[in-house]
Chain A
Amino acid sequence: MEKKVLIVDDSNTMRKIVARSLRQAGFEFEKVLEAPDGQAALDLLAGEAVDIVLSDINMPVMDGIEFLRQKNADAQIKGIPVVMITTEAGTDVLREAMELGAVGTIKKPFTAEQVQEVLGKFL
């Protein structure tokens, strides 16, 4: 079954790199959606069901932590798995993300193999 993914990152460059890595890792999606921050991601999820979200943490407008909080408060989208893609490995903020339900982390800079290893558990 074809799936949909949402990539959340304030950097257009990083969104392109994540999308490229997904293809290189062998994942085929019916639709690859993009959002530049957590608020835009929530707005998008209100109208479109996705199978998984890949999100940065450090973003303007709404960061990845607040995005997780607000997603958890919405019963319609609470169950969508979120993988954090971030430079901030091993930090308190990453621990907080896991406590808020993030299902995995990918540390920047990453390879397609690392993306495959983490997302393979959920797709």
Chain B
Amino acid sequence: MMADRLNQVVGQAIAVTLENMAFMEIAPVQADTEVPTSDNGMMARMLVLEPFQGEVQLAATTALLRNVIEVVHAFPDEAVVEAMLSDMLGELLNTIGGRLLTEYLPESQSYRLGLPEVGWDLPDCSEGQSRAWNLQIEDQGLVLTLVGDGFFAG
């Protein structure tokens, strides 16, 4: 039951964020989806500081990030550089993570998040249970991972 609810909340958080920010729809990952790796994508992570210790991670292909940037910036007046890719991935993570916790935690429950940290290949230093959701947007992969027992308690 808890896993079903987490599935629903994660799916909604990603769907609403991509729709509102970039007018894009998510779909289940397919066999030909380009999955983000350290060669073709970037990764971001954000600590959950309260009410439990955890982490939300988001990985996306640079092709997907470029597509989102083109929508958000309409007509970018400069070349899409690494700083723009990092900023976009960090903001996607911040928005998805906040939405996810708002929906998942009880209504009166406060939470506190760290600032997103973005890189090409961040080291894995998280502890606790984890679970990943693989999705695609316009044939490009997006992977959200939740780390920390607090996400799976109950």
Do the beta carbons of A16 and B73 come within 8 Å of each other? Answer: yes
What DSSP secondary structure best describes chain B's contact surface?
helix
Do the beta carbons of A111 and B115 come within 8 Å of each other? Answer: no
Do the beta carbons of B98 and A88 come within 8 Å of each other? Answer: yes
Do the beta carbons of B87 and A13 come within 8 Å of each other? Answer: yes
- In the bound assembly, the distance between CA atoms of A11 and B90 in angstroms comes to 8
Chain A residues whose C-beta falls within 8 Å of the C-beta of B87 in the assembled complex: 11-13
Report the nearest B residue to A9, measured CB to CB.
B91
Chain B residues whose C-beta falls within 8 Å of the C-beta of A49 in the assembled complex: none
Total count of chain B residues near the partner, CB < 8 A: 28
What DSSP secondary structure best describes chain A's contact surface?
loop
Interface residues on A, range: 20 to 34
Min Cβ gap A65→B in Å is: 12
Min Cβ gap A102→B in Å is: 17
A residues touching B (Cβ–Cβ < 8 Å)?
Answer: 10-14, 16-17, 20, 58, 60, 86-93, 107-111
